[in-house]
Structure 1
Amino acid sequence: MPRGARTSNQRQVRFGTAELMRDLDRPNSWLLSVDGVAQSHVDLDDPTYLDFDYVRRIGDVIDCLPDGPLRALHIGGGACTLPRYIAARRPGSSQLVFDVDAELIEFVRERLDLRGVPRLRVRITDGRTGVASRPDASADLVVLDAFERAAMPGGLATLEFTRDVARVLRPGGTYVVNISDGPGLRFARRVVATAAEVFDSVLLLADPGVLRGRRFGNLVLAASAAELPVAELTRRAASAVFRARLVTGADLRSLVGRAEPITDAAPAAAPTPPDSAFT
């Protein structure tokens, strides 16, 4: 920790009270929450350890990308779990995080050694402004994992924003989105419909109970102009400690049904989890 840094495990940030709690099962691991909603888990000794199930699924997508360093954009920072993972798994990667919460990022810098992550930059701005500022075909990977008061900002789910992400991606680049939704999957189905308007290849990874509408939870969407590694991701999902189901092709079209893409003119509010659910 830098000399003179505050040592409180709580900090008032833009969207509430951020708190860091030590993970008693793993030395030097921390859980970051905001107003009691879990946001990130990081293991400072082993950044390749991914504790949250949905983050592990995103890690699987990253692991299945072509070998070598990545140029990655992250919309939403939190404790920067995935940028740390990429830096460890793919040395030489260049990464940029967009996050609107300056106080939260400073808290993470002070307490969780954010400056020690190689070739990582953080810019305090919203995701739409940040992506709009990037050159065409400049990123291999864009990860959207942004929440404000436990819900995805609606402006990050629209067709207009998704097209801008596609502009920034290199040919064959991959877009990954963390979606949270509950029974009926009304919001998730519209997010998938939006991605399918822009990208040729789309898949969804989630706990079977979430897909069946039994409970609130996280779904990971991956999209690309190129074919996604469906077979390998299916194998990884089926062999995970907490198994997930991969849905694509006709099954995904059936899941989406008549759901319409989200647009700036017809926005959709993302659901917030019940008190008993963690994001």
Structure 2
Amino acid sequence: MPTSDARPPTGRSIQLSESGERARIIPDEHDDGWVLDIGGAVQSHVDLADPTRIRYEYLRRMANVLDACWPTGAPLRILHLGAGALTLPRYVQATRPGSVQTVVDLDRELPSLVVSELPLPEGTDLTVVIGDARAELAHLPKDRVDAVVLDIATAANAAAHLTGAEYYGELLGRLTEHGVLLVNIGDDTGLRFLGRQSRALDDAATEAGLTGTWALADANLLERLDTGNVVLAAGGALAAQDHEEVRARLLAAGPHPAAVLDPSQTADLAARIERAS
């Protein structure tokens, strides 16, 4: 993919063939950097001058899991399902040069807009695949990866074939023995979708012989079962570590107020959500 030094976007917009919405890169009204606007909804934030700065909390928590599971600077092989403005791939390249990354996105026009308006860090090794996040798995190289990042599903528009235990099992099967699957879940008040997805991922993890599912989010969100984003995580990279030690590292990393639930606590959360439904 093209790379370059930091420069301002041109402001052009494109129409996405899948959704029919218009997409553009515009200045962030509240912060330094740029945001991806799709149909009037802000999707992603990018700081060209400092790709290690991640404004969105759920992406920061995902980055923290990667940093807790592998030595500083170690290059990784990562499969991203859902592209946005490529915020996390930028972070990985900036902190782990030499990483090999693949992005699968349904909107053919979006990745080219993003990289032309917001060039990737120098040296980024990123392959873009256009297509469905499940169908394309069969066509990707069979080499296992260190991490799979699924950033697609929200309660409002979740596709059934991308949210069940069977699909999560397929994603876990793409990981190395010490890999990690990270799933962003956007949900409404009550977190019922989260509850179903945490159980589905837990079933898939158990089937794969793993210890279960972790959850990371704003502590107030989980306490109130409020609207927002929760990161679910599973894989050998977490199972191989002392739970209390990795939980302490992730709690310290924030963003604050942070909640980091180990598999037992995540199961308790799912039960609490079910009781409240």
TM bracket, shorter-chain basis: 0.7 to 0.9
**Cα shift readout 1:112-137 (whole Å, capped 9, x = no counterpart):** 11485511111111110222334556
1:183–1:210 CA contact under 8 A, matched in 2 = no
Counting only pairs closer than 5 Å after superposition, residues 110-189 of structure 1 correspond to structure 2 as 110-114=116-120, 116=122, 118-136=124-142, 138-146=144-152, 151-189=157-195
Q: Percent identity?
A: 36
**What is the distance in 1 between the residues matched to 2:12 and 2:247?**
37
Matched, 1:237 2:251: yes
CA distance in 2, matches of 1:235, 1:64: 7
Answer yes or no: is 1:225 the counterpart of 2:236.
yes
Equivalent residue for 2:202, pick from 196, 202, 211: 196
Cross-structure match for 2:66: 62
Q: Which range moves more in the overlay, 10-19 or 169-178? A: 10-19
CA-to-aligned-CA distance 1:167-208 (integer Å, 9 cap, x gap): 111112100000011222111111111111122232101112
> What TM-score, normalized to structure 1?
0.82
Matched position secondary structure for 1:8: coil
Moved more, 123-132 or 17-26: 17-26
Q: What secondary structure is seen at the aligned counterpart in 1 of 2:201?
A: helix
Report if aligned partners of 2:155, 2:187 keep a CA contact under 8 Å in 1: no
Q: How many equivalent residue pairs?
A: 256
1:7 to 10, 25, 47: 10
Partner of residue 48, structure 1: 52
Structure 1 counterpart of 2:266, one-letter code: L
Q: Do the aligned partners of 1:11 and 1:18 also contact (CA within 8 Å) in 2?
A: yes
User: Residue by residue, what CA displacement relative to the aligned partner does 1:81-130 show, whole Å, maximum 9, x if unpaired?
Assistant: 11111111111110000001011122112211148551111111111022
Flag the 1:43–1:133 CA change in 2: closer, same or farther, 3 A. same
The residue that corresponds to 2:217 in the other structure is 206
Query: Unpaired runs of 5+ in structure 2?
Result: 4-8
The runs of 5 or more residues in structure 1 that have no matched partner are: 261-279
Q: Secondary structure at the match of 1:64?
A: helix
Report if aligned partners of 1:61, 1:233 keep a CA contact under 8 Å in 2.
Answer: no
Structure 2 residue 271 is matched with structure 1 residue 257 = yes
The answer for the alignment partner of 1:275 in structure 2 is none
Take 1:214 and 1:257, find their aligned partners in 2: how far apart are those partners?
A: 12
Structure 2 length-normalised TM: 0.82
Higher helix share: 2
Q: Is the 8 A contact 2:180 2:234 kept in 1?
A: yes
Is the partner of 1:109 in helix, strand or coil?
helix
1:248 is aligned to 2:253 = no
Q: What amino acid is aligned across from residue 236 of structure 2 in structure 1?
A: A
Deviations along 1:15-66, one digit per CA (max 9) or x if unpaired, are 2121322136665x21112122221111112111101111110110111122
**Aligned pair partner of 1:35 in 39, 57, 77:** 39
Corresponding residue of 1:18? 23
